Amino acid sequence: MKVAESIAYGIMGLVIAGVMAIIACAVNPDIGVWINELIRPAEKEEVKVDNSKKYYVEVPDWDYIYGYKTQKANEESEDGGSSGLGSMITDAVNGLSDAINQLEATKVDNLAETDVTVQDVADAADAMVNALTGKGGKKIQVNIETESLKNTGSGDVDASGNENAVQYTPGYPTGKNGYAAFEPEIIELTDAGLAQQAINSTDYGQLGNEFIFSTEYYPYYHMLNDTGKALYRQIYANTLNLNTTFRPVEQVNMDTMQMIILSVVFDHPELFWLDTTFYQEFDYKGAAIKLRLRYYDRINNIPAANREFQSIVEQIVAGAEGLPDVYSKELYVHNLLADKLNYKHNPLDQSAYSAIVGNDTVCAGYAKAFQYLMQRLGVPTYLCAGSAGELHAWNIIKLGDNYYNVDCTWDDQNPTVYDYYNLSDADNYMHKRMFNSVYLPACNEGTFIASAQ
């Protein structure tokens, strides 16, 4: 009985494979030519494969993208197998590796129009996915791994303390995240007398009622209700005036206060002296009654540091202002940061200061510098925080009527790449928004790529 079942399953697999091939050929006739070439015996001596160069296919996590995780779990058979559509697609695309190796073994120097290239294989894979699901175009790509890339590390240190342990894989940078979220210290006051003492020990400081924040440039402010906006203005004004301790004009719970402080940080990279990893909150019966912010002690003279910061910003802005359009300005700033910066941790690496005045920073510094420079050039640009394997920061920029994702950190390779330059959310699937960044405008349009030459 088991033998009969095996034969039946084998026949079924061949039928499914045949149907997939027919559909793919219908979508792209060139695939039929490619398949014919693969199965036809070679008529000439096989060319020796260059083992110093290896082609491989990068396949997205289709199960995650199409939401099959739950369905797939329900469809698992008793023997632990899975029949999820996402797994079938992934397995089918991964199976193209043999074809790629054969193409590499028989490649020629002068390609004719009818010759199949390695990129054709990637296009064929995408056509198969599109024919089966209508959702192709998800960054299926063929990459080249060379000996030089194998031997080159990112310079990061892994958990064991070994330098150069993390290697850069084309299209998927690793070890280049480093965004740090707030770690609030909550001082819970249970005694009414102590609570009143905390309130009496400080005042409101600056209220900030004179400030107006436009919707186009300060989206996080406009995500808040009236109470949140009042606290946002107060936090912004006190930070601007270097006042660290004050009583909130409104009493909200801990989670709400943290979201409001994050909103100020996300909207205002120019407040670079604010340590975005820590604040202190005095809490009484679930409400914040006193706040204490912390400024970087590495910056001894904040006004002098701000003058230096703004002077360098003015120089960069002056270099881009004469360019003909917003696309040229964006490219100028993107490439300037890639040329200027080194991915390296330091005590100020969560600030725009580390990327504008200094040369060493992590993703937070790249993203905040890009945000501020582009906004100074009149291009709405936002900080986006989330996950890309670990906490990470990148940008969302408005070009024309559409929004795009930009990750200067991941594009800063040697040489500079444009793998994460002006991507739609679909193409930027390695990045997952978190915090109140989930409410930023969606990037729904197809990838827009300005000239990188």
* Domain regions of the chain by residue span: 2-150, 185-288, 302-439
CA distances from 395 to 73, 222, 309, 421 (A): 34, 18, 21, 10
pLDDT greater than 90 at residue 70: no
pLDDT for 180 equals: 80
Q: How confident is the model at residue 102 (pLDDT cuts 50, 70, 90)?
A: low
Report whether 63 contacts 69 (CB < 8 A). yes
Residues in the chain: 453
CA distances from 347 to 304, 344, 351 (A): 19, 10, 9
What architecture (CATH level 2) is domain 302-439?
A: Roll (3.10)
pLDDT for 115 equals: 53
Helix axes 29-39, 118-133, angle to 10 degrees: 120
> Which residue type, as a one-letter code, is found at position 38?
L
pLDDT for 169 equals: 39
Report whether 230 contacts 250 (CB < 8 A). yes
pLDDT for 49 equals: 44
Q: Residue 244: which of 281, 213, 270, 212 has the closest Cα?
A: 281
pLDDT for 409 equals: 96
pLDDT for 54 equals: 41
Q: What is the pLDDT of residues 208-229, one digit of tens each?
A: 999 999 999 999 999 999 999 9
Q: Residue 407: which of 397, 421, 427 has the closest Cα?
A: 421
pLDDT greater than 80 at residue 41: no
Q: What are phi and psi of 310, to 5 degrees?
A: -70, -30
Q: Residue 220: which of 439, 443, 442, 434 has the closest Cα?
A: 439
Q: What distance in Å separates the CA atoms of residue 269 and residue 369, rounded to the nearest whole number?
A: 7
Report whether 396 contacts 441 (CB < 8 A). yes
Confidence (pTM): 0.63
Three-state SS annotation for 130-178: HHHHCCCCCCCEEEEEEHHHHCCECCCECCCCCECCCECECCECCCCCC
Q: What distance in Å separates the CA atoms of residue 272 and residue 276, rounded to the nearest whole number?
A: 9
The number of beta carbons lying within 10 Å of the beta carbon of residue 80 is 6
Report whether 385 contacts 180 (CB < 8 A). no
Q: Residue 184: which of 38, 106, 294, 39 has the closest Cα?
A: 294
pLDDT greater than 80 at residue 367: yes
Q: Residue 295: which of 310, 276, 309, 281 has the closest Cα?
A: 276
pLDDT greater than 50 at residue 46: no
Task: Indicate the range of 6-10, 119-123, 297-301, 397-401 predicted with least confidence.
Answer: 6-10
pLDDT greater than 50 at residue 207: yes
Q: What distance in Å separates the CA atoms of residue 21 and residue 5, rounded to the nearest whole number?
A: 24
pLDDT averaged over every residue in the chain: 75
Three-state SS annotation for the chain: CHHHHHHHHHHHHHHHHHHHHHHHHHHCHHHHHHHHHHHCCCCCCCCCCCCCEEEEEECCCHHHHCCCHHHHHHHCCCCCCCCCHHHHHHHHHHCCHHHHHHHHHCCCCCCCCCCCCHHHHHHHHHHHHHHHHCCCCCCCEEEEEEHHHHCCECCCECCCCCECCCECECCECCCCCCCCCCCCEEEEECCHHHHHHHHHCCCCCCCCCCCCCCCCCCCCHHHCCHHHHHHHHHHHHHHHCCCCEECCCCCCCHHHHHHHHHHHHHHCCCCCCEEEEEEEEEEECCEEEEEEEEECCCCCCHHHHHHHHHHHHHHHHHHHHCCCCHHHHHHHHHHHHHHHCEECCCCCCCCCHHHHCCCEECHHHHHHHHHHHHHHCCCCEEEEEEECCCEEEEEEEEECCEEEEECHHHHCCCCCCCCCEEECCCCCCCCEECHHHHHCCCCCCCCCCCCCC
